[in-house]
Chain A
Amino acid sequence: MKTKKGFNLRNVCGERIVVAEGIENIDFSKIISMNESSAYLWSQVQDKGDFTVEQLAKLLTEEYEVDENTALADSKTVVKQWLDAGIVE
């Protein structure tokens, strides 16, 4: 899968939120907010073509002290959330 174009992370009052470029209205009653590790993954894969859950897990083990199984499980969770939020395809 890959990230949809134009979904940029911005820091709004210490919250990492995703704001879609080109989208007219920004709805603060339903914003996509990312925690630190999710934001890290996003910044690594954004606009860099196709990525897999395994690649995300590898990125996590490189950056954080986490074993492979946990990293893989967390990556699956984050991908599901990104799909639900409609920011990857």
Chain B
Amino acid sequence: MPQDNSPLTVIQMANAQLLPEVVKLLDEGHTVTLPLRGYSMRPFLENERDKALLKKTTTISMGDAVLAELSKGHYVLHRVVGIDGDAITLRGDGNLSNEYCHAGDVKATAIAFYRKGRSTPDSTSGRKWRVYSWLWTRLFPLRRYLLAFYRRIWLKFFKPI
């Protein structure tokens, strides 16, 4: 992989084209490190700052952060908040509304996140992610206010968490 002195350029690819390729690589047995875009997994994950380490999904469990294809070419990396047989309910940590898909639309599971440019990832089986997940999921009734506070006040004075 490129060293410090090789030309590094950022290539932005459209999700609809990139993610099917990512899914192909996952199917071949690779894991994939994917830079994240968007704000829907705030406060833990930040747009264009953090990366997810993805693995092909074998089992879907409550609380997993998964890459799912909600409709043709429309992918999200959101948390599983409901499983009813084949019917899966997802919700981004930074969102208030749910999304629905089938188990077969869940393509990958995040096994770790690289945050704030660090080279050591936070594993999703590790203590930090589990404590955060437990807390943030239970605070859902207050989420609207917490997110508004985070966006309107916290980010005015401090860096993203």
Contacts and interface: CB of A to CB of B under 8 A. Distances in A.
A30 interface: yes
Given A25-B30, A28-B22, A81 B7 contact: yes
A32 B5 CA distance: 13
Interface residues of B, number: 24
B18 interface: yes
Contact of A15 (B1, B13, B35): B13
A46 interface: no
A24 B34 CA distance: 14
A13 B2 contact: no
A85 B6 CA distance: 7
Chain A at the B interface: SS class: mixed
B89 interface: no
B95 interface: no
A31 B35 CA distance: 12
B135 interface: no
Closest CB pairs A-B (n = 3)? A84-B6, A13-B17, A27-B33
